[in-house]
Amino acid sequence: MLYYFFDWLQEVDFPGAGIYYYISFRASMAIILSLAISLLFGKRIISFLQNKQIGETVRDLGIKGQMQKKGTPTMGGLIILMSTIIPTLLFGNLTNIYIILMLVTTFWLGIVGFADDYIKVFKKDKAGLSGRLKILGQVVLGLIVGVTMLVSDDIIVREKTVMPEAETRVEPVEETGMPPRHHEFVTRDVKNTKTTIPFLKHNEFDYAYLLWFLGDKAVKWSWLVFIPCIILIVTAVSNGANMTDGLDGLATGLSAIIGTTLGILAYLSGNIIYSDYLNIMYIPYTGEMVIYMAAFVGAMVGFLWYNSYPAQVFMGDTGSLSIGGIIAVYAILIRKELLIPVLCGIFFVESLSVIIQVSWFKYTKKKYGEGRRVFRMAPIHHHYQLKGYPEPKIVMRFLIVGILLAVISVVTLKIR
């Protein structure tokens, strides 16, 4: 909203109004405001949740100290959502399609997560929102994002192609003082379903390639593959973040690390100079997403103030489902979704541990008459708790691994 106010000030030649056009300035203001909101209003929201007895219901898992968390206020994800949305509305360009999609993602999954927490807390139903309805909510979001990316004229990629040799002017050495150039590049804005494959030199992958057997019609029908893949990614990452939210500060800290990395990648992808230097896909208008991610990271750090061990508040599904979806959609929009298994490696391992545990238990129960386990408990962070590791040590080591994965993700820009 302030974006348009300063736009007006710029039109009337108000001194200094032009600073608002700088992404770095608005991102700085967004992260400061989100931190302020989460820190200043977080305590009041926690007190409100306590007064309303909106506390966490904890099952006795046989883990030392687990039952002490019973009654800790939940639904703290409201702090994260509020601290992300308000700075984005104030400092972002609300006509930017990427900002619109990120706000839709935040609101939509916030509603799904809130409904789940509401049923658990107020309806006293431990199961919460049914798994099918959660998945349906994630599928609908994936469908919205996928279709918008295919039909919106504002979502484009700038491709660089070699100019035909017949149109290339070869400049003599004596005129330029440089070796003659035998080809030039031209750019064009196109709509496609291309994304980035990490670690490969020729690292652009088009979902249409999966329909190679259709020949020239592959591009036309690429949506048949593209949209299901988007839905799968949104659902997987959202649920992965939800499973990781089991220890104080774990999902919060990891999300801040992941968000910072994605913000850097968005800035580079949306900057024509840096993208050309790094030889990565240039995606016009994605630089504006840095403002959203700055607000998101500020919200996560501010929430961590209250969520670190011992937690004064839990984010609940209101937060965990939302942050997973936000990370997934953000990565998809900057064409870095294939980097998610690396960048979100902890989320991936947490989800994988549950899949392995459940699958092996069902298999052995069918074959031997009794279910057997691979881990003492899944998700895997509970496995380490049962092995006797203190909760803060598990969280800190997972965060260190998360930082390492984030560094590797950024390094993939040059290691190909």
Nearest to 193 by CA among 178, 177, 207: 207
Write out the two tokens for 165. Answer: 């040799």
Provide φ and ψ at 218, rounded to 5°: -60, -45
Residues 6+ apart with CB under 8 A from 241: 251, 255, 320, 321, 323, 324, 327, 347
User: Where along the chain do its domains lie?
Assistant: 2-172+180-351
The amino acid that residue 289 corresponds to is M
Q: What angle do CA 31, 110, 156 make, to 5 degrees?
A: 70
How far the first Cα of the chain sits from its last, in Å, is: 41
CA distances 2 to 6, 40, 261, 264, Å, are 6, 22, 26, 24
Given a contact cutoff of 8 angstroms between Cβ atoms, the answer to whether 76 and 304 are in contact is no
Helix (H, G, I), strand (E, B) or coil at 73: strand
Calpha distance 290→27 (Å, rounded): 6
Which pLDDT value is given to residue 173?
47
Calpha distance 388→401 (Å, rounded): 20
DSSP annotation string for 174-230:
HHHSSPPP---EEEEEE---EEE-TT-SS-EEEGGGGGGGGGGGTTTTTHHHHHHHH
Per-residue pLDDT of the chain (416 residues; tens, 9 = 90+): 777 777 777 777 777 777 878 899 999 999 999 999 999 999 899 988 888 777 666 665 666 666 567 778 888 999 999 999 999 999 999 999 999 999 999 999 999 999 999 898 888 777 788 889 999 999 999 999 999 999 999 999 988 776 655 555 555 545 445 555 545 667 788 899 999 988 877 778 999 999 999 988 998 999 999 999 999 999 999 999 999 998 999 999 999 999 999 999 999 999 999 998 888 899 999 999 999 999 999 999 999 999 999 999 999 999 999 999 999 999 999 999 999 999 999 999 999 999 999 999 999 999 888 889 999 999 999 999 999 999 999 999 999 999 999 999 999 887 76
Q: What angle do CA 283, 84, 88 make, to 5 degrees?
A: 55
Given a contact cutoff of 8 angstroms between Cβ atoms, the answer to whether 344 and 237 are in contact is yes
Residues 6+ apart with CB under 8 A from 242: 317, 320, 321, 324
Calpha distance 409→18 (Å, rounded): 34
The amino acid that residue 353 corresponds to is S
- My answer on whether omega of the bond before 164 falls inside 30° of 0, hence cis, is no
Calpha distance 372→358 (Å, rounded): 9
Given a contact cutoff of 8 angstroms between Cβ atoms, the answer to whether 291 and 91 are in contact is yes
The amino acid that residue 263 corresponds to is G
Write out the two tokens for 96. Answer: 């930017």
Calpha distance 230→248 (Å, rounded): 30
Sign of CA dihedral 256, 262, 264, 270: negative
3-state secondary structure 149-163: HHHCCCCCEEEEEEC
Helix (H, G, I), strand (E, B) or coil at 105: helix
Provide φ and ψ at 271, rounded to 5°: -110, 120
Strands (E), 67-193: 157-162, 185-190
Which pLDDT value is given to residue 391?
93
Sign of CA dihedral 121, 122, 127, 132: negative
